[in-house]
Amino acid sequence: MNEPQSGFKVAVDMTNPGQVIACCGLLELAQRVWPGAEGWFQESQFTIALAEKSNADAIDYLVNALRSCEISGLSQEEGDERKVLEKESKELKKNHSKLTPDKEKRRKELGESARAGVIRIGEPFDLMLDWWDALSDEATPKTWAGRQELHRIVRAAQDALSDIGEPMSATLLDFRCVLREPKEYRKGTQDHAAVEPFYFDAGRLAHRLDVGFSLDTLGFETAARPSVELLCLIGLQRFRPAPNSEKKWDYDYYIWSKPLNAPVAAAVFSGVAPLPGWQKYHFHLLPRDDQKRYKAFGPASLVGNKS
């Protein structure tokens, strides 16, 4: 690798799979802005090196771009179609009428897709997220059930990024806050209801285990790490922990310590491409309700090193 002209480091807990995959998400975003970007883990830090010089501080640029980019659940054509149908529906209601059955069915389909289907991360990243539909249940570390409003959670996490303080390298993956209803989902000007995260952050679950009960079921509002939730969702599109063949809901991932680009790093992370010096970690999806419909990333343990 040529000597990088710029880059950045972020603090990371290697035993928190959500934080580790969030770092992979950062690498995914970085290589889309600066082709040739490489990343690696070392001494509780994740480093991203850029082969070309950035005109601004790279980590600030990435986070600010993620804060401000469009995040949608529909393509441009679908979005335009939905706007037309929603406008027509409102106009008809004023006259005590309604859409035809076919149009109403389509309006509802587009609304459902906007909330719970594919997530599109706009420019400068131009990334489509759909890993939860592309994989089998056994291969997917999915923590939610049914067709939850994924776009609502993503947008709540995106809004919360605006409150992350400096220095970004130290606070990015550790910043906590209560996720709030994004403006497009509010029913009124004063509706700032809390939004539950994806539960990718193993540190959040550990707090609940210490308390001994689920605070959310009792109506308490609890803090989440928005950057971990959003960046982990992004990272999982390419970086997939390997399902453990011996136990259901168990996964393995591998940490590398040499500079790698995103495609190669993803193969190493999942154990497909062995790399000298890698470290293997193991974690379990823990149930969040009695029916085991909702889950959370548990903390990981170091299994061993590979020479």
**Any idea which residue has 């770092």 for tokens?**
23
In the chain, pLDDT over 70 holds for what percent of residues? 86
Report the pLDDT value the prediction gives residue 211, as an integer from 0 to 100. 41
pLDDT given for residue 187 in this prediction: 74
- Is the predicted pLDDT of residue 133 greater than 70, yes or no? yes
Mean pLDDT of 66-90: 86
Q: What is the dihedral of CA 166, 169, 174, 180, to 10 degrees?
A: 60
Is there a contact between 245 and 29 (Cβ–Cβ < 8 Å)? no
**pLDDT at residue 132 tops 60:** yes
Q: Given this model, what pLDDT does residue 3 score?
A: 38
* pLDDT level of residue 191 (50, 70, 90 thresholds): low
pTM of the complete model: 0.85
Q: What is the rounded CA–CA span in Å between residue 30 and residue 7?
A: 10
How much is the average pLDDT of 211-238? 78
Mean pLDDT score, 130-137: 75
Concatenate the DSSP letters of all residues of 104-128 into one string: HHHHHHHHHHHHHS-EEE-TTT-EE
pLDDT of 209: 43
pLDDT bracket for residue 52 (50, 70, 90): confident
Q: Is the pLDDT of residue 258 over 70?
A: yes
Pairing mode, if any, of strands 250-255 and 279-287? antiparallel
- Exposure b/e, 209-234, CB count within 10 A at least 16 = b: eeeeeeeeeeeeebbbbbbbbbbbbb
Q: Which among 90-94, 138-142, 144-148, 207-211 has the top mean pLDDT?
A: 90-94
So what's the pLDDT on residue 1? 35
Taking alpha carbons only, the member of 15, 245, 288, 16 closest to residue 143 is: 288
What pLDDT, on the 0 to 100 scale, is given for residue 55? 54
